[in-house]
Chains A and B, each alone.
Chain A
Amino acid sequence: MTPTFLGRIHTRLLLVLVIGLPWSLVIGFLLRENDRQLFGLPLIVLGVFLFVGIVWDVIYIAIQQLRWDRDWPYAFQFLIGITEGLLLYWLTIRFVFPSLMIETAGDPSLTLFGDLTSNQPREVVFLLHYLPIFLLSFGAVFGPLRVFLPQWRYKGGQF
């Protein structure tokens, strides 16, 4: 991978729209808190992800300048996915939950799948939301994205 700055932004936006958005809608549909439908939570988290991601991309490009090949190894991409996830989780607990008036401490109050299962811890819900998006996005960049956008790799990720 040899992305440019604009390329990173474009690609991030594309993946958020094509992978992030549908999955967030699915999670939003299933997510409840004490009988209150939390449709917006995953979408807000996704929005935070996109916004913070742009800041991340500035940092990544700066790191890339230190590399002779100006490339971005897949291993880096995977590692930063984990790092971004951790930061995103912290931001979600620290800012997003309180703003939606969801309890952040004590017994979990979020449920997926309604009354069929007991309450899930916040971490599990977050992971169920973030992990598939992260893994699918990484997988897409590893290959399949090129199948749909054959010129993507010649333009540093832009289109």
Chain B
Amino acid sequence: MPNESTFQLQVLWENPQNDDNGSVGYDFPERSKQKLLIGRSSKNAVVLNASYVGRSHAYVSIRHGQVTVHDDGSQLGVQIDGDRIGEGGAPIENGGSFSIGDYTFRLIFSIEATPPPGDHGQREGQHGQGANYVFQETELVKDDGLSKFPVRDRDETPAAIVSVEELRTKQALKIEEIDYLAIGGGLGSFIWSDHLRVFGVRADQIRSIGLDPVPYAKYFRLCKNSQIPEHERLRSNSESCPDNLWGFPGYAVRESFSALGRFRLISAIRPVLKVFFEPVFETFTPQAKDVFDSVDRESHRIGWNQIFQLGRISAIRKTDDGRYAVFYSVPKTATEKAGDQCVVIARFAHLCTGYPGTRLLDDLQNYRVKTGDEQLVVNAYEPHDQIYDHLAKTGGSVLVRGRGIVASRILQRLKETRDGNRDITVYHLNRSTVTKGNKFGAAKRRVWAHWEYQPFNWPKACWGGQLQRKLEAANDTRRSELISAWGGTTTADRRDWMRILRIGLRDGWYQQLFGTVSEVRKATSGGGVETVYKPNNSDSPVSLKTDYIIDCVGLVADLEFDGLLSDLLTTYELDRNQQVRPDGRSISRGLRTTPTYEVEGMANGIGRFFAAGQITGHGILASVDSFLGLQFAAMRSVRGLRKLRAPGIRSLRPFRSFRQWLRWCRNAPPN
């Protein structure tokens, strides 16, 4: 059935009386008559453990594009806003809620343009799969060739300082006032909210606005696209746990315990042994799904479903009473552009919106603008599974551009595809060879086969050791030198991966080329693309024809590419970290923050504005876009809030910290 859409429903419920919380994901194909059943009996999709809930208590269905909750003839009934719903059922909006006794339900839905193959029905813990049709990721690659994304068109651009009184008079505007506001709704917002909760803040004091109720949804999509499936391991430390601010027990210990529980003794010893000896032999890294599952668990524990609000943010402004107003909209259906206009006002705000988007190398960008092709030439972070499927069937050749962890994952995927079809050749084109690794002090980075190796994306001490101290104490020039020395594209020195490289080079299906590209164009015959480059060791240009090109250079970090940030930067003239190049030129990078991750230019009376993640790049922490980096920023920020005596924040002195940790272990809410 072509072009049929699937309605994706996520049902979240919680009952503070008996701690019965849960969530379930459900797909409704467009013309389906399926119902999502709720009740006490185990045949229901949502099973509730309370005596007052009937065996078949209620169900949720979709009728004419409208989500409706029905009472299935129960005794207690179903309540919305305290009123019992009638026989015909009651409509529920996106993000709306209803209750059955002490159970509160929340429904979040989105529409996927094409249905996942053969997957109609219940999916539990969906990890944010599928592109959310209503809220599409902003794409940088525009047909008009503009490389900058314009500020969102709005009928009214709010003034630099908005008046709260005026907002209250606007009838169509839904206003909410809260203490803490986390803008972004992703991992950064989640981690900040997690810290707030552990430090004593209640869930009803925090609001987070974003595009997906699952905090790691964007991260998961990027992983999936760049060929890191759930069972693969992330380039992250055992002790970097986004769900646990203490970092103990780390993922290695958890993996060991879980293996012990299944009586797999050798599997149990391996993770802990790895951590004990790392990085001398191999470095332990957690499986992607373990990380995602742990974030799911912690989301429930801290009441993330109560904190999170689905919305597309249009503007962030200071108010005239020392707070911040964030304007956002919640469309009800796929076609509606405007939807409910809402604003949330808070005294303490936190901004963490991540990488603005993906970007191609200049010559590939030109190709895409000229030809409009998005199939043959892709960025590794875009979905491109069709390339591997096609190669598996008919064989062919691929040109990989860029080094680094993404390129290494792509290479691994290509090798796995090649295991099924030997007729695949991989070309790897880079501008220069790599024969010497970076040097700093008395140490040098390891290089082999023109790849540079490092266990994580930054030297370990960048997260809180000697190197972080140096960076924080440095001025702009010195900081740029340090970041340049410690940074650069590297990949993890995984033994299994290096074996792939060795065999590929030996058998000739992996070839490394070095030169400068002048043009990329569609091949004149036989399909595919042609890359014209000048090899480093010759003067005449060479034309290389391949079926595909995969650009592994990465995600763009420039703040100007994000409309929301760009607007904020110009409205309040915010300071940015400066990267000082060797020739003396200065480039603006991330938002400049104080040591407590406060954006000084956004201070508003007693209101305080914080930022974290990639948007604060090139500052006091090199490794901003990592789990532990986000936790570092959150810890600094929340301690800064404590010094300001912000509401609800208590100290995390040793014994209180221990007690909170015990609550984490028991999976009990922080308060």
Contact = CB atoms under 8 A, between A and B. Distances in A.
B377 interface: no
B249 interface: yes
Contact of B465 (A2, A73, A150, A151): A2
A37 interface: no
Interface stretch (A47-55, A61-69, A110-118, A125-133): A61-69
Interface in B442-461: 442-446, 454-455, 459-461
A68 B245 contact: no
Contact of A71 (B249, B277, B279, B445): B279
A148 B460 contact: no
Nearest to B445: A68
B247 interface: yes
**A-side interface size class:** 20 to 34
A2 B246 contact: no
Contacts of A74: 275-278
Interface stretch (A38-46, A84-92, A93-101, A139-147): A139-147
Contacts of B441: 65
Contacts of A3: 465
B459 A69 contact: yes
A124 interface: no
B466 interface: yes
A145 to B, nearest CB: 9
Given A4-B465, A4-B466, A65 B657 contact: no
A75 B280 contact: yes
Interface string B623-657: 00000000010010001000000000000101101
Given A70-B467, A71-B461, A143 B253 contact: yes
A66 B441 CA distance: 8
A75 B272 CA distance: 11
B464 interface: yes
Given A143-B253, A147-B661, A149-B654, A69 B279 contact: yes
Contacts of A153: 239, 247, 464
Interface in B423-451: 440-446
A2 B277 contact: no
A156 interface: yes
Given A65-B441, A146-B248, 17 more contacts: A2-B464, A4-B466, A7-B465, A68-B440, A68-B445, A68-B446, A69-B459, A69-B460, A70-B460, A71-B460, A143-B248, A143-B253, A148-B658, A150-B657, A151-B635, A153-B239, A156-B466
Interface of A: 2-4, 7, 64-71, 73-75, 78, 143-144, 146-151, 153-156
Nearest 5 A-B pairs (CB), nearest first? A2-B465, A70-B461, A69-B460, A143-B248, A2-B461
Interface of B: 239, 245-250, 253, 275-280, 440-446, 454-455, 459-461, 463-469, 632, 635, 639, 652, 654-655, 657-658, 661
